[in-house]
Amino acid sequence: MIPVNEPLIAKNALKYAGDCIKSGWISSAGEYIRKFEAAFAQYIGVKHAVTTTSGTTALHLALAAAGVGPGDEVILPDLTMIAVPYAVLYTGAKPALVDVDRILFNLDPSKVREFVDNKCRFDQRKKAWVNRRTGGVIRAILPVHLYGHPCPMDEILAISREFGWLVVEDAAEAHGARFHPGGDKKKALKAGALGDIGCFSFYANKIVTTGEGGMVVTNDDALADRCRRLKDLAHASGRRFLHTELAFNYRMTNVQAAIGLAQLEEIDRYIAIKRKMAAAYKKGLAGVRGLTLPEEMTWARSVYWMYAVLVEDEFGLSRDEFAGRLKEAGIDTRTFFVPVHEQPVFTKDRAYTGLSFPVSEELSKKGLYLPSGLALTQAQIEEVCCAIRKIRASI
């Protein structure tokens, strides 16, 4: 079976992890925590990077540090991993869902505008925009750079400035992806460095992995300090074991950071592999009727974390039937996420009943991603493409 995502482990990972074991610094203190945070901040192009235990806790920590809480709402795409709305719920706030763009699968700025125009009002007493349906105060917007392609951040940042909203980027799947402000490649910025605060995941299938882990990045000194305080139980200044507020234990281990540093050293090579993989799929699947391949905008550089395709009606099989045929051929796939508003945990909440997001719903039914791991070989890509062409020809 060709797996969906088999990772590559960097050459220095064992050496660095061995250093931790030999030194005895295997928990959440040690030099590799500092080294990894410093190197990651430099790579992304920000002042601060704060390690966490996962991408989910990175999101929660970022929102909590920014003061998002009960009575607040955060705008986010309806098509995303469940960890994104969960992180909002952990703060006591609620997600305000918006539909996505059919080409990029990312948050659609025009739909954000529609949401504000049709479902929000400015509350003079609260001096804030509120959701007419729920009364919640819109505090932040959370774009997710899905499957490795950046969101249209020029428009999203313009909206956030207009309404005074915090921008929290989820770059969990977009390590090293670039956005060109105003379409100018000379001013390229990396995903995660565009908003007020950015969040990353280092799960095993990510381009940089620590097995499990995450990172919060920002240029805001106060936000960074608050993230560091909240992730480590908020010990009182100058006195350990005295705690004055509710905080979390989101500390990454030194061993994980050591692996992460080794992976980061090879990120340029890893991204080159991902982009070469995407080019091979694009060539191998060119002209297959009914299969929509991913696009890369001129204002961005995608890292193709996953090679995500749409199985259109013209293909002749449903997405699930297509995935089943591929499995019979020894090829594993993964479907797109289930829309947030269709998740049982949200359908129980009256605030989300009766909602419909047509693009998100369509993509969820038609989308899947093909084997895309860093360990994928050219021969395996050719095998996948050949299998797809045979399936299409047999219909």
- Model pLDDT for residues 74-104, shown as the tens digit of each residue: 999 999 999 999 999 999 999 999 999 999 9
Summary mean pLDDT of the chain: 97
pLDDT at 348: 87
pLDDT tens, 247-267? 999 999 999 999 999 999 999
pLDDT the model gives residue 238: 82
Quick one: what percent of the chain has pLDDT higher than 90? 96
The CATH 3.90.1150.10 domain(s) of the chain lie at 268-394
Q: What is the pTM of this model?
A: 0.97
Tally the C-alpha atoms within 13 A of residue 151's C-alpha that lie toward its C-beta.
33
Going by C-alpha positions, the residue among 309, 44, 64 that lies closest to residue 193 is 44
For range 143-151, the mean pLDDT: 98
What CATH number does domain 13-265 carry, 3.50.50.60, 3.40.50.300, 3.40.1010.20, 3.40.640.10? 3.40.640.10
Second-level CATH architecture of 268-394: Alpha-Beta Complex (3.90)
Tell me how many degrees the CA angle 52-179-361 measures, rounded to the nearest 5.
75
Reading the block at residue 165, the tokens are 């909203």
DSSP 3-state helix, strand, coil percentages of the chain (rounded to 5)? 40, 20, 40
Rounded Cα gap, residues 159 and 164, in angstroms? 8
In what helix (H) or strand (E) does residue 308 lie, and over which residues does it extend? strand 307-311
Angle at 256 between CA 254 and CA 260, to 5 degrees: 110
Share of the chain above pLDDT 70, in %: 100
Task: For CATH 3.40.640.10, list the domain ranges present in the chain.
Answer: 13-265
DSSP string, 26-76: -SS-SHHHHHHHHHHHHHHT-SEEEEES-HHHHHHHHHHHTT--TTEEEEE
